[in-house]
């Protein structure tokens, strides 16, 4: 059966990429919306105003919604999905605790899947970093991430997941130091965090471990946003068959 999806943020960087990859893969796009939908077309798909989202969910009944927008918009879309029972896959990052609570509430009525990064390579990076931090308990750890100049949240959602893995694997690693300035000697247990924003860089994450006169770097670089779009569409196909709950991509990626 052909997967049918709705796409939000259709004129944004990721929205356009999702529509492009959907066309290449033969995925049916039930409809696409954007905050400033004005009748323009993206990849041959007409873009409707976001205000019509709830009504379109009801009339078009897609198998799932793929969302890459912003926290406020995602929460609104999730609530509409909950009312109609349509699953939602979102790659939005930068959620507040209240936003997460709202998504979890929506997930009691329909499946909600959150992914800070839909790349298979990043999932492998998470496992590799956890293993390295465990095997090198005395080594200093620094994390640097780089994204395009339009990314809003810092550090990235992927960086936060990496930091969670590092802290979970190393007892005493509990202080995240964001950048350094002036006199700033390194403290035991510190994890340095550095965010860069420049040009049109898709996404880079680098974890450095150093000690005992050696260093180890684990790096992931995304060459195209299509990597994330493909993962999100794979997740949408999987989520369409699930019951209402709150899912995270990193915990289900191996099932795709």
Does the annotation place 117 within a ligand binding site?
A: yes
Identify the pLDDT of residue 189.
Answer: 86
> Which of 5-14, 92-101, 167-176 is least confident?
167-176
**CA distance linking residue 173 with residue 158, whole number of Å:** 18
Closest CA to 3 of 41, 30, 24, 21: 30
Contact 78, 95 (CB under 8 A): no
Across the range 80-86, mean pLDDT stands at: 98
Does the annotation place 157 within a ligand binding site?
A: yes
Superfamily of domain 4-118+225-255 in the CATH hierarchy: NAD(P)-binding Rossmann-like Domain (3.40.50.720)
Identify the pLDDT of residue 59.
Answer: 97
**CA distance linking residue 233 with residue 235, whole number of Å:** 5
Contact 165, 158 (CB under 8 A): no
CA atoms within 13 A on the CB side of 178: 7
Identify the pLDDT of residue 36.
Answer: 82
**CA distance linking residue 202 with residue 99, whole number of Å:** 25
Identify the pLDDT of residue 187.
Answer: 86
User: For residue 87, what pLDDT band results from cuts at 50, 70 and 90?
Assistant: very high
Higher model confidence: residue 183 or residue 217?
Answer: 217
What's the mean per-residue pLDDT of the chain?
95
Does the annotation place 211 within a ligand binding site?
A: no
Q: What DSSP character marks residue 200?
A: T
Beta strands in the chain (DSSP E): 4-7, 28-34, 41-42, 45-49, 64-67, 88-90, 112-114, 140-147, 175-178, 190-197, 203-211, 214-222, 246-248
Q: In what order do the strands lie in the sheet with 4-7?
A: 41-42, 45-49, 28-34, 4-7, 64-67, 88-90, 112-114, 246-248
Does the annotation place 116 within a ligand binding site?
A: yes
pLDDT at 38 over 90: no
- For 120-222, CATH gives 3.30.360.10
Identify the pLDDT of residue 5.
Answer: 98
Does the annotation place 223 within a ligand binding site?
A: no
Contact 144, 196 (CB under 8 A): yes
Across the range 223-235, mean pLDDT stands at: 97
pTM greater than 0.85: yes
Identify the pLDDT of residue 144.
Answer: 98
Across the range 12-31, mean pLDDT stands at: 96
Does the annotation place 22 within a ligand binding site?
A: no
Does the annotation place 80 within a ligand binding site?
A: no
Contact 163, 170 (CB under 8 A): no
Q: Any idea which residues carry the catalytic annotation? A: 147, 151
pLDDT in tens, 93-147: 999 999 999 999 999 999 999 999 999 999 999 999 999 999 999 999 999 999 9
Does the annotation place 148 within a ligand binding site?
A: yes
Domain coordinates of the chain in residue numbers?
Answer: 4-118+225-255, 120-222
Contact 70, 35 (CB under 8 A): no
pLDDT at 172 over 80: no
For residue 113, the cross-strand partners are: 89, 247
Strands 214-222 and 203-211: antiparallel
**CA distance linking residue 256 with residue 237, whole number of Å:** 9
Any alpha helices (H) in 43-202, and if so which ranges?
A: 53-60, 71-84, 97-106, 120-135, 157-169
Across the range 73-81, mean pLDDT stands at: 98
User: For residue 213, what pLDDT band results from cuts at 50, 70 and 90?
Assistant: very high
Contact 89, 253 (CB under 8 A): no
């Amino acid at each position: 059966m052909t997967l049918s999806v709705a796409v939000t943020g259709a004129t944004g960087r990721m929205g356009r990429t999702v529509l492009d990859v959907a066309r290449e893969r033969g995925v049916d796009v039930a409809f696409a919306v954007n905050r400033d939908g004005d009748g323009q077309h993206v990849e041959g798909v007409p873009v409707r105003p976001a205000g019509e989202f709830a009504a379109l969910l009801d009339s078009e009944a897609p198998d799932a919604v793929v969302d890459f927008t912003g926290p406020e918009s995602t929460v609104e879309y999730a609530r509409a999905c909950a009312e109609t029972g349509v699953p939602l896959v979102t790659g939005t990052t930068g959620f507040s605790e209240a936003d997460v609570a709202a998504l979890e509430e929506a997930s009691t009525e329909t499946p909600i899947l959150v992914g800070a990064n839909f790349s298979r390579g990043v999932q492998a990076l998470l496992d590799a970093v956890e293993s390295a931090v465990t095997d090198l308990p005395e080594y200093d750890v620094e994390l640097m991430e780089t994204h395009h100049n339009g990314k809003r949240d810092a550090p990235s959602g992927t960086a936060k997941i990496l930091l969670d893995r590092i802290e979970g694997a190393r007892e005493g690693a509990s202080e995240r130091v964001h950048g350094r300035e002036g006199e700033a000697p390194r403290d035991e247990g510190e994890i340095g965090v550095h965010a860069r924003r420049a040009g049109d860089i898709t996404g880079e994450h680098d974890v450095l471990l150093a000690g005992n006169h050696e260093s180890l770097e684990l790096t992931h670089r995304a060459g195209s946003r299509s990597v994330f779009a493909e993962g999100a569409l794979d997740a949408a196909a999987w989520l369409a068959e699930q019951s209402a709950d709150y899912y995270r991509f990193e915990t289900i990626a191996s099932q795709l």
